[in-house]
Chain A
């Protein structure tokens, strides 16, 4: 457990708390139980997708395709439920497989075709939404299945189900990243691919795997999105990929790869959603929301980059004596 809850969580956790306190001070509605449970619904989809985006980033890749993939997957799910008459219990697992396969496809092209993931997933970003439009003549499909909505709106002991999905998937991801061979290999590939090759790690396979995970988690997000709106639409998930990446970055994941804590991404996602929620509650226009989101990303990365300078400044401000610093090494 020491491994999972390490020092890398302190910053993102503090950021989340600070933001929450500020929002709570501006509007008392923030701490309403209704609002808090609404918050966990709001964060769930982006936070689940961000698991995949973060793992791709750990391996020094980037996934820009998740938002469009969501649209495509909600359309496929809608198609299966509404027009093909598949039962929910079959359609949902199928859509998870399709998500994994789409990820596999992107991963193979990236790793074995040696095309940077920025390009392959940018192509995915464009093409998947195009593909989504080929279903149902490009129109949304509504009223899919009465049993779909409870997947998102259901509650157990008064707690919304998405909360449990978050706990479940983040627990698995945290375990995988810290305790499994695959997790270690992902960090190794992101840290130094050339060294990974020389230690016998199958770098391409590992890179591909990260995209399969990302595709799978996007499919999980797609199921929740369909359940939330009981529909599929080629317009769903716009800029969701950017929010997921923002969550990873605010959580401190290094875009250079190899560094970061997956649980910090959850905190990053919460930070972003709390800010959006605060602006909503204060009736800020959406233009302001986007500007603020941009600033948060800059600030998060900036604090990370200037960490040394900041700690040096703190030392000087609060008079750290040189006897605190150990001599030599």
Chain B
């Protein structure tokens, strides 16, 4: 294995940001025909390494070698010329452009006179999407797609480059199991053609399935180089966190007989067709389904964001009608949205402003805010939820994904909501933070609060829910006890409409 010259190699690369040494003399060897997992907790420096290799930033010290020769990757164009394609953690698609334009952005097929060859753009984009088994037309405006589909376009962009080095920074955070399977198949095909692949994900079960070797980072340094760890979830976890995290899914049963929320026959213009559910006090009700099945839309319907065209919501026996979010909030509902970056966080605020945003009325008298209460409550919640203490002083864009997610949840703890809708609450956060979120769920249900949990991670959904409602095409088709369901039941039940085609997609 060591006889192969690495395609790319990092030698003692360091990179500091103001106040943080994000990479501390890291070394990594990326071999052709190998899928290399890059793992570690939020903020350990994975994306920093990727940005360096993609020419987005320059390292402070150290060397990058290409086929054994030191090279300078001055900017992203240079990286691209070296055959490096990167799917960044932050979306880099342009929402107002079509899917085809996005796929070839910066790389447009042109005729001799510099005129864009639109027919080729469309055909090639359609071919790449077909290879990926993605059912999206190249002509659709990308911004109108769901988060998961946008992520697939992002990946298509890298694949269209036919690169020799593919870097994927959490490509699966927004994907369902089905899409993940298809992505894995695609990556295996590329591997067999000698492509080097660097793969980052916080979903360790899928990492275990796909990678050939792993490098584990902690606090900016490599703690396990390739070959030093077995590719096994529990070993990886203990190397990542430097200890034991205890039970992965510490589920508590706190459900009672009291019905707190009942929805009958909900429908909206956004695609909810027939959603009925009951939620008990202290219960975690999971919503299971494939990408685009309408789980997020059901959440929005419950929260008053999307107008109901049919159906009735009843809270503790009283029929209610939410015209706006604020009505739902006053009635004790809370929504932690799927995409914390898009509509969850205020990046211009520190933890305090984010935590109190939904409770400004209660925090003020005659329009004047009680900042002492805000400060104290923020400090308490930061302490209780084990959020980084930096959150008090720094705006939240400087925090890791896990800390950000806890802050969004903390907002609804502060507002003292009774019913929390958590849409993909563990997306993109590390294993330790995930367990922290699970414990938080327990703490909430123990206090008599109820939770609607949406998750594309089937294991998590099965483990943390009391009951699971299966969503297909915007309708809840049935609700079953989580204990009676297995992983494959859930896949089958939610994905009856989907397709798994284990064909040689890139052959």
Contacts and interface: CB of A to CB of B under 8 A. Distances in A.
A184 B21 contact: no
B323 to A, nearest CB: 12
Contacts of A296: none
Interface string B355-373: 0111011011001110100
Contacts of B324: 200, 202
Interface in B320-339: 324-326, 328-330, 335, 337
A280 B363 CA distance: 50
A195 B344 CA distance: 5
A188 interface: yes
Contact of B360 (A3, A181, A325): A181
A167 interface: no
Nearest to B349: A191
Contacts of B368: 179-181
Contact of B343 (A192, A259, A326): A192
Interface in B287-346: 303, 305, 324-326, 328-330, 335, 337, 342-346
Contacts of B347: 191-192, 258
11 contacts: A182-B367, A184-B369, A192-B346, A195-B345, A258-B347, A258-B348, A311-B18, A325-B19, A328-B21, A329-B390, A329-B400
Contact of B357 (A201, A311, A327): A201
A200 B326 contact: yes
Contact of A199 (B19, B44, B358): B358
B402 to A, nearest CB: 11
A188 B346 contact: yes
A200 B346 contact: no
B450 interface: no
Given A192-B343, A194-B342, A326 B19 contact: yes
Contact of B21 (A192, A257, A325): A325
Contact of A181 (B344, B353, B369, B411): B369
Contacts of B325: 197-200
Contacts of B54: none
Contacts of A184: 353, 356-357, 360, 369
Contacts of B418: none
B348 A195 contact: no
A173 to B, nearest CB: 14
Interface in B367-393: 367-369, 371, 388, 390
A286 to B, nearest CB: 38
A327 B220 contact: yes
A50 B448 CA distance: 50
B326 A202 contact: yes
A322 interface: yes
B367 A327 contact: no
Contacts of B33: none
A328 B343 contact: no
A197 B343 contact: yes
A322 B348 contact: no
Given A179-B371, A195-B343, A198-B337, A187 B20 contact: no
